[in-house]
Chains A and B, each alone.
Chain A
Amino acid sequence: MDVKRLFINMGILGLCIFSIMAFIITTQTDSNVATPITNNTLISSTYRDINSSLLSAQSQTQGASNTFSNVTPTQAYGELEVTSIISPTKIVRTIIVGLWNIYIKVPMVVLGVSPVVAGLISSIIIILVIIGIWAIWKGVIPQ
C-alpha cells in the first residue's frame, strides 16, 4: 500500500466514522434518549478529536498549497523546489499518524485490544509512511 492510498483511506475512514457518530449523536439528541453515547467520555473525546483532526487537515493542506503556489519559476533548469513537496509530505505523515492514534484508542479501551497488537500495527503504519515519503522525496530531490 503506497502512502497516497494510505492517506486517502485514513481520511475517508475518519469521515465515515465521524459521520456514523454524528448521525447517532444527532438522532439520540433529537429523540431525547436518556443515556446518549456522548455520556461516555472516551466516545465523546474521540468524536471531538476526529472532528478537529479532519478540520485541521484542510487548513494544513491549504498552507502546503500556498507554499507550492509561491514557488517562482526563476530557478535554473534541473533544479527543483523541494520545500514545496516536503511540506505536504510532512502534513501527510502528521495526519496519518494522528488519525491512527485517535482510531486505536477506543478499541484498546473498550474491546481490550492488546497494546502489543496496537504497537505492532502502529509500527507497520509508520514504516509504510516513512518509506512512502522517502519514495516521494527520492523522485523529487535531484541526485
Chain B
Amino acid sequence: MVRFTDLSNLTDTAGIGGLLSLPNTAYPYFWIWILGGIWIIIFLSLYFKEKERIGRGNLISSMAVSCLAILMLSLIGTIVGFITLEIMIYILVFSALIIGIWFFVGRE
C-alpha cells in the first residue's frame, strides 16, 4: 500500500518553510510548475498590456522581464527553503537563455 505525504508529516517546528516544502517530498518538481504558471501569467500580462498601450507587443522582452521576476521569486524560495538547488539551477539557466536571446533579437 502506497503511503502518500500529508499534513501529518509536518513537525511542530517545521514553520512556513516546512509547510511550503511539503509538496517537494511527494513530487520534486511541484514548485517548478507553480513558478512556470506565474511566469506565464506575468509574461502574458506584460505582453498584452504593451500591445494594448502601444499597439504592438514585444514577445521576447516580456518573457525576459518576467524571467527576472521569477528569478527573484525563486531566490526568495531558496531563502525560505521550499525551492531546491536543482529547481533553482533550472530556473537560472532558463532565465539566462531567455535574457541572452532578448539581447540578440529583442532590440531594433
Chain A's nearest CB lies how many Å from the CB of B15? 14
Size of A's binding interface in residues, CB under 8 A: 26
Give residues of chain B (35-92) contacting chain A, Cβ–Cβ below 8 Å.
68, 71, 75, 78-79, 81, 84-85, 88-90, 92
Interface stretch of the complex, out of A14-22, A53-61, A74-82: A14-22
Which residue of A has the minimal Cβ distance to B79? A31
**Contact for A37 among B89, B99, B100, CB less than 8 A:** B89
Which residue of B has the minimal Cβ distance to A1? B104
Tell me if B29 is interfacial: C-beta within 8 Å of chain A. Answer: no
Chain B's nearest CB lies how many Å from the CB of A34? 7
Q: Is the interface of A mostly helix, strand, loop or mixed?
A: helix
Size of B's binding interface in residues, CB under 8 A: 21
Contacts of B95 in A (CB 8 A): 20
Tell me if A91 is interfacial: C-beta within 8 Å of chain B. Answer: no
**Contact for B92 among A9, A16, A27, A37, CB less than 8 A:** A37
Chain A's nearest CB lies how many Å from the CB of B17? 10
Contacts of A13 in B (CB 8 A): 99-100, 103
Tell me if A69 is interfacial: C-beta within 8 Å of chain B. Answer: no
Chain A's nearest CB lies how many Å from the CB of B9? 19
Interface of A toward B, CB cutoff 8 Å:
1, 9, 12-13, 16-17, 20-21, 23-24, 27-28, 31, 33-37, 39-40, 43, 103, 106-107, 110-111
- Per CB-CB distance, the 7 closest pairs between chain A and chain B, nearest first, are A35-B85, A110-B93, A31-B79, A13-B103, A9-B103, A33-B78, A17-B96
5 A-B pairs (CB sep. < 8 Å): A13-B100, A16-B103, A20-B68, A20-B99, A35-B85
Given A31-B79, A110-B90, 12 additional A-B pairs, CB 8 A: A13-B99, A17-B96, A20-B71, A24-B92, A28-B79, A33-B78, A36-B78, A37-B92, A39-B85, A103-B100, A107-B93, A111-B94
